[in-house]
Each structure stands twice: as C-alpha cells, then as structure tokens.
Chain A
Amino acid sequence: GAVVSQHPSRVICKSGTSVKIECRSLDFQATTMFWYRQFPKKSLMLMATSNEGSKATYEQGVEKDKFLINHASLTLSTLTVTSAHPEDSSFYICSARPQGDTEAFFGQGTRLTVV
C-alpha cells in the first residue's frame, strides 16, 4: 500500500514552546490530508482536514490558532502546536488517501509530551 510518513515519531517540549509535526505522502500526491489526535486508551478524534493550497477545515472545538496547519505541497502537510501546554500532550496521527484509491493510509504517529 501507499506510504505516509510522519516526523518526528516522538517529541518532548517545554510549556510555551511550539512544535511542528510533518506528514508526507512518499509515493503519491494528496490534495487532502487529515489530522487526528488520540488520548491514552481512547479512539482517534479528527482534528482538521488539510487542503493543499487552501485553508484547513477544523472540527468543532479545535482551535485553529492553536493548531496551525499548512499544506503547501501535494506531498506535505504540517501541524504546528503553538504555545504548547501539558494538556496538549497526546498522540497525533495524519492520514492521506491517494487519488483514485478507496483506502486511506496513516502515518506512524507522533507522541507529543509537553513538560
């Protein structure tokens, strides 16, 4: 299947700093990518839909100024957690689907710990 790569796989940062997470589609182009968040022992929750060349669409309750999404090319979307706080500690996962394919593929996830 297609490959989606996330970087970094885990990051620890101090409160108040910003963290950028990258999501790349390695062998296909993706006009749309999805960002999810997952708390321990919980299911994945969709945060936002990232659209290449236009603004992201955020789910209700997700602060767009807190979670900045940039999808500047057909193979890269980035999620920046700004002014991170301990409650932002979570597992962040991106997803993309090749055009013409029916299944979506997921990155390996990024575990963010804010101390």
Chain B
Amino acid sequence: DAKTTQPTSMDCAEGRAANLPCNHSTISGNEYVYWYRQIHSQGPQYIIHGLKNNETNEMASLIITEDRKSSTLILPHATLRDTAVYYCIVRGNNAGNMLTFGGGTRLMVKP
C-alpha cells in the first residue's frame, strides 16, 4: 500500500472548519483513500473514504485532488469532541487488505 504523509499536529478553533491535509503521491489506480480517527484510549473510528471523487457524509467531507496525489479531510464545524488523532490511509480494496497506520495528525480543537 502507498505511504501517506500528514502534519504531526494541528490546532483548530471550536466552530471553525478543520482542514486536515494528506499527501499520498505514490498512490496507485486501484487504491482508496481512507480516513479514521482515534480519540484517546479508544479504538479507531471510520470517518470516510474515496477513490477519486469528492465524498461527503454526516461526519466530514473528503476532497481528493485530480491527480490523486493528495487529499484533504474537512470537518465543517469542529467541536471539542473532534479532538483526536486523524489517520489518512491508502489501501487497495481486496478483502484481506489490512490497514497500515502512519503517525497521523493530532488535531486539537480549542474553545
């Protein structure tokens, strides 16, 4: 699976949009971009995933560049409960493919 690069940490003001970038320049054509987050002392939580089109769900939006070499996760109105480590993972879609976690971005939402 392709490697991803994310900033180590970011701050965001409560109520503002949080934009979390991810670089995945070696992504191949059949690999998806997944985002998970991990709140302290809990298991990771699935947020969203996409292949090449932008995606939106009740939690977030995922913007993937046209060349697919980078993406941005957008939390439109961050709350204190969104403070977590956010992981961007690139993975093929075979059933046996595990998720390989990088360092992630530690997002701190501040009042």
B95 adjacent to A43 (CB under 8 Å)? no
Instruction: State the majority secondary structure of interface residues on B.
Output: loop
Residues of B whose CB lies within 8 Å of any CB of A are: 32, 34, 36, 38, 41-46, 49, 87, 93, 95-96, 98-104
Query: Separation in Å of the B5 CB from the closest CB of chain A?
Result: 13
CB nearest neighbor in A for B96: A32
Q: Which of B38, B43, B93 contacts A107 (CB 8 A)?
A: B43
Complex alpha-carbon distance, A106 and B38, angstroms:
10
A108–B38 CA distance with the chains assembled, in angstroms: 10
A99 and B95 contact, CB distance less than 8 A:
yes
What residue in chain B is nearest A106 (Cβ atoms)?
A: B43
Alpha-carbon distance A32/B87, docked complex (angstroms) = 22
Q: Identify the A interface with B (CB < 8 A).
A: 1, 4, 6, 31-32, 34, 36, 43-46, 49, 91, 93, 95, 97, 99, 102-109, 111
For residue A9, give the distance in angstroms from its CB to the closest CB of chain B: 9
Residues of A within 8 A of B104 (CB): 43
Q: Give bound CA distance, A97 to B43, whole Å.
A: 14
Say whether, besides A46-B98, A104-B99, A111 and B44 are in contact (CB < 8 Å): no
Is there an interface contact between B42 and A109, defined as CB atoms closer than 8 Å? yes
Contact (Cβ within 8 A) A108 B43 = yes
Most buried by A among B42, B44, B100, B101: B44
For residue A31, give the distance in angstroms from its CB to the closest CB of chain B: 8
With a cutoff of 8 Å between Cβ atoms, the chain B residues found around residue A95 in the complex are: 43-44, 98-99
- A103 near B98 with CB under 8 A, answer no
Report A-chain residues with C-beta under 8 Å of the C-beta of B42: 108-109
Q: Which residues of A contact B98 (CB under 8 A)?
A: 34, 46, 49, 95, 104
Closest to A109 in B: B43
**Is B43's CB under 8 angstroms from A6's CB?**
yes
- Contact in complex: B93, A46 (CB < 8 Å): no
Minimum CB–CB distance from A101 to chain B (whole Å) comes to 10
Give A108 to B40 CA distance when docked, in angstroms.
Answer: 11
- Across the interface, do A111 and B41 meet the contact criterion of CB distance under 8 Å? yes
Q: Kindly list chain A residues whose C-beta atoms are within 8 Å of the C-beta of B36.
A: 106
Query: Distance in Å from the Cβ of B14 to the closest Cβ of chain A?
Result: 24
